[in-house]
Amino acid sequence: MSAQLVAQLRAAMGEGRLAAGERLPSSRALAVLLGVSRTVVTEAYEQLYAEGWLEGRHGSGTYVTEGVTAPMPAPQVVEMRPVRRAAALHEIDLRPGLAWIGALDTPAWRRAWRLASGMPPQQRQDPHGLPGLRQALAEYIRRSRGVTCPVDGLLVTRGATNGLDLLAATVVRPGDRVGVEEPGYSRARAVLSGRGAELVPCPVDEHGLVVDGLPDDLRLVYTTPSHQFPMGGVLPVPRRQALLAWARRNGALIAEDDYDGEFRYDVAPLPALYGLDPEVVVYLGTTAKILTADMGVGWLVGRPDLVAEVALRREALNDRTAVVPQDALRLLLERGDLDRYVRRMRAEYARRREVVVQALDGLPLRGDTAGLHLVVDVAEPVAARAAREAARRGVLVETLDRHHMGPVSASGLVIGYGSAATLAELREGCEIVRTLAL
Ligand SMILES: Cc1ncc(COP(=O)(O)O)c(C=O)c1O
């Protein structure tokens, strides 16, 4: 982050947006403004001192060195208040994949970690995870996702991707054909091919995975039925049934990645696919969206005999979830704190989604009824140009092409509303995108 700040300050000075002789905010003030630690700013300032961009007048602050940059025209210098200057330095990140954590530092969160940190170290851990957490998670999944799961069919992982990796390590033999959504989640592809799978791209449309036409020879298919990543479709019930029938007919397994299934805005979330046929579906859950990816806890749910095999394989690989985060999550679940937080976040994301949809008025949107991202349906070359120009103006969005494995079949912009810090930033960023994509 220091390096990013150095680069942005250098560019601002080089282009004259920060004029020679201008005073920079104090490291403390800039750190607060950017939401970073003070060390990030002091390191950046030190680097720029060393390079000669900045000079200090003893006791009176940090200034842009005279002569390193052309002076700004006078009226603009007068207008450069700290907030404007910070906005020029600060990027608005609308890339998908991150949850908003601005409201996470609650007393309940801190209490859970404090209590969990008192756990004695364990010599040997059950590869399924801590029993108390497994119980609490089984109840959470029933409450939040409408499906009953047996505790002996639940294994605590480090996240959805780790769950997929463990499943692949258990059931995929090198050369097995495994279906992945196209476009889809690139990390799922990486994990599966890392375990020797031959990836088979399976088309998706606005409703999610296209089930008709799935090849008969797949060992496993990876899918995101609650909110297809990245296109945003919610798999309709008839397709869910057709998918399960396909799996039964072919002796295949379905890996259901339910990464953001708690968030649906128009109607209540559909129950997880797993609930319709626990024999053929392996359910992958995660704290990445409901809390933060940084927590490093997820869950895998499946047929108890299959989960026992996964646990054995996991032990052989010496793979485990750290116990302190497990226990912190148990406490958050048992005290009702997580449910409260998810309810709050559902309201927060609904507000954010509303701002995004309004700011993108006039553009065709997909996948905006659920999850933390949506797709703006624009053709190439407009999408790539809009993303490039938005980045130049400090707004980061992704294009759909990067989520494809093979030839690009869908174009558009993917907008995440988890990572931008404020509603105002979200609105500003989306308004910029709108002017570029219309
Ligand atoms: C489709 C999808 N699955 C899973 C995850 C999260 O995975 P993990 O729990 O491994 O962090 C993400 C996060 O961006 C995602 O987009």
Q: Quote the CA–CA distance of 59 and 209 in Å, as a whole number.
A: 63
Contacts of residue 132, Cβ cutoff 8 Å, sequence gap at least 6: 327, 330, 334
**pLDDT, tens digit (0-9, with 9 covering 90-100), for 202-233:** 999 999 999 999 999 999 999 999 999 999 99
Ligand 1, residues 162, 257, 283, 299: which to mutate, most atoms within 8 A of Cβ?
Answer: 257
Helix and strand numbers, DSSP H then E, in the chain: 15, 16
Token reading at 99: 């949850």
Residue 257 in contact with ligand 1 by CB distance below 6 A: yes
Q: Quote the CA–CA distance of 16 and 32 in Å, as a whole number.
A: 24
Residue nearest to atom 3 of ligand 1 (CA): 259
Residue 161 in contact with ligand 1 by CB distance below 6 A: yes
Q: Which is more confidently placed, 339 or 81?
A: 339
The answer to whether 390 and 435 have CB atoms below 8 angstroms apart is: no
Q: How many whole angstroms from 284 Cα to the centroid of ligand 1? A: 10
Residue 198: pLDDT over 50: yes
Compute φ and ψ for 415, nearest 5 degrees.
-115, 120
CA 335 to chain CA mean position, Å: 26
pLDDT at 69: 63
Q: How many whole angstroms from 391 Cα to the centroid of ligand 1? A: 24
CATH number 3.40.640.10 is the correct assignment for the domain at 107-335: yes
SS (H, E, C) 412-425: CEEEECCCCCCHHH
**pLDDT, tens digit (0-9, with 9 covering 90-100), for 61-107:** 888 888 776 544 433 333 323 332 333 468 999 999 989 998 898 99
Residue 222 in contact with ligand 1 by CB distance below 6 A: no
pLDDT at 86: 37
Assigned CATH for 2-76:
1.10.10.10
Residue nearest to atom 5 of ligand 1 (CA): 259
How is the chain split into domains, by residue range? 2-76, 107-335, 339-437
Residue 399 in contact with ligand 1 by CB distance below 6 A: no
Q: How many whole angstroms from 230 Cα to the centroid of ligand 1? A: 11
Q: Which CATH superfamily is domain 339-437 in?
A: Aspartate Aminotransferase, domain 1 (3.90.1150.10)
pLDDT at 245: 97
pTM: 0.80
Q: Which is more confidently placed, 117 or 90?
A: 117
